Structure 1
Amino acid sequence: MLLHIPEVLSRAQVAEFRQLLAEADWTDGRATVGAQGAQVKRNRQLPELSPLGRQLGEVILKALYAHPLFMSAALPLRSVPPLFNCYEGGEHYGLHVDGAIRSIPGTSLSLRTDVSTTLFLTDPDEYEGGELVVMDTYGTHEVKLPAGDLILYPSTSLHRVEPVTCGARICSFFWTQSMVRDDARRGMLFELDSHIQALRGQIGDTAQVLGLTGHYHNLLRQWTEL
């Protein structure tokens, strides 16, 4: 499931993020990937333990964990603290798949990467190129969203970032372990939950709506891994 979630951050929050990131010390992005990724990755990132990155990442996770659309789609168990990257001057990230296991920096914990997330902090007209290209069973999708918007997609997907030929592309990105490992099951639960919420808004908590809600939670009980 590939899902666009608009306005995760307000324009004021984006402006504050950009001001703080403009003064940040960026390092080589290859420091956070394995041998395969390092061959095709050319960008800069904030260090994983950057105090600024942690500060801004907490704002992002707080917004997302209060966002009904993200919670319904990702069914998050835990997330890696958000990271931040910058592409300019032809920098890019070639075709790759995210590693299945990520450690949580500063801890002895790890998680399984089920859901990948990119939050855009620059508007599309601020740079040329830089499309996030995600390849899945339904084809190839190019993603370039307004600042403050987010794209969520399965971590099993092949994807790349096209070269940025003008301007700078600044984003946050992170991974989530879902309570439901299988993307197809997560997609079905998300669709069912969306229909239940729409029906509840139209006709209230009728017996039928309550029955569908029970069906949703019984499926969640069967498929959840905690």
Structure 2
Amino acid sequence: MLHSLPDILDANDLQVARKLLADAPWADGKASAGSQAAQVKNNAQLPYDCEASRTISAMVTRGLERSALFLTATLPKKIFTPRINRYSGAANHYGNHIDGAIRTLPDGQRVRTDVSCTVFLSNPEDYEGGELTIADTYGEQRVKLPAGHAVLYPGTSLHQVQPVTRGERLACFFWVESLVRSDEQRRLLFEMDMALMQLRQTHGESAGTTTLTGTYHNLLRMWADT
């Protein structure tokens, strides 16, 4: 299931990010790709330990912590440190691929890629093309969001970034290992949580919402891997 997350980065965050990225030490994105993905990956990427990467990663992490929608949609257990990429000029696309199931952090910790996330750092009018194209059960979805907004989608999805034909597309990307491995189970829990919020807003607390909240947590207890 796809989710759009508004305002993970605010205007001040974006201003800081763009200033840092203007003089950033870009490298070939293939260096971080697996053998299959490297054949279709054609972009630039920042080293994870440079100043721009560290600062933007920290801003994104703080934004995620403020986002109730991110927390309820992903039920995060671990988050792979956010990375930064760029699509422009000759290095302007990433062909169809599925993300590797396991990513390893610099400290050796492994993260299962249950949920993929892209945070857009460029506004749609700043570039042409560059849509994140995701194949899911409802067909092909094309995503191109305002700067500061993010999209979540299952790590199992076949996806690509369409060629950027004008300007540059800057983005932050990362993966989430969820407490609940199954995308279907996460979707059911998310829908139940959203329905409970709506019931509380409309009718306030009641015996019914208390019972349903207990059911939500009992399902989470059944499915979660802590």
> Which is worse superposed, 6-15 or 157-166?
6-15
Relative to the length of structure 1, the TM-score reads 0.97
Does residue 138 (structure 1) correspond to residue 138 (structure 2)? The answer is yes
Give the alignment of 1:211-226 within 5 angstroms: 211-226=211-226
CA distance in 2, matches of 1:116, 1:55: 21
Give the alignment of 1:53-202 within 5 angstroms: 53-90=53-90, 91-105=92-106, 107-202=107-202
User: How far off its partner does 1:49 sit?
Assistant: 2.4
User: How far off its partner does 1:63 sit?
Assistant: 1.4
Kept in 1, the 8 Å contact 2:8–2:64? The answer is yes
CA distance in 1, matches of 2:52, 2:24: 8
Kept in 2, the 8 Å contact 1:54–1:81? The answer is no
Kept in 2, the 8 Å contact 1:74–1:115? The answer is yes
Letter in structure 1 aligned against 2:104:
S
User: How far off its partner does 1:52 sit?
Assistant: 2.5
User: How far off its partner does 1:89 sit?
Assistant: 1.4
Q: Which runs of 5+ in 2 are unaligned?
A: none
Aligned-pair RMSD on alpha carbons?
0.9
Relative to the length of structure 2, the TM-score reads 0.97
Letter in structure 2 aligned against 1:32:
S
Partner of residue 32, structure 2: 32
| Equivalent position SS for 1:117 | strand
User: How far off its partner does 1:20 sit?
Assistant: 1.0
- Structure 1: which 4+ aligned runs deviate by more than 2 Å? 48-52
User: How far off its partner does 1:55 sit?
Assistant: 2.1
Q: Which runs of 5+ in 1 are unaligned?
A: none
CA distance in 2, matches of 1:195, 1:27: 45
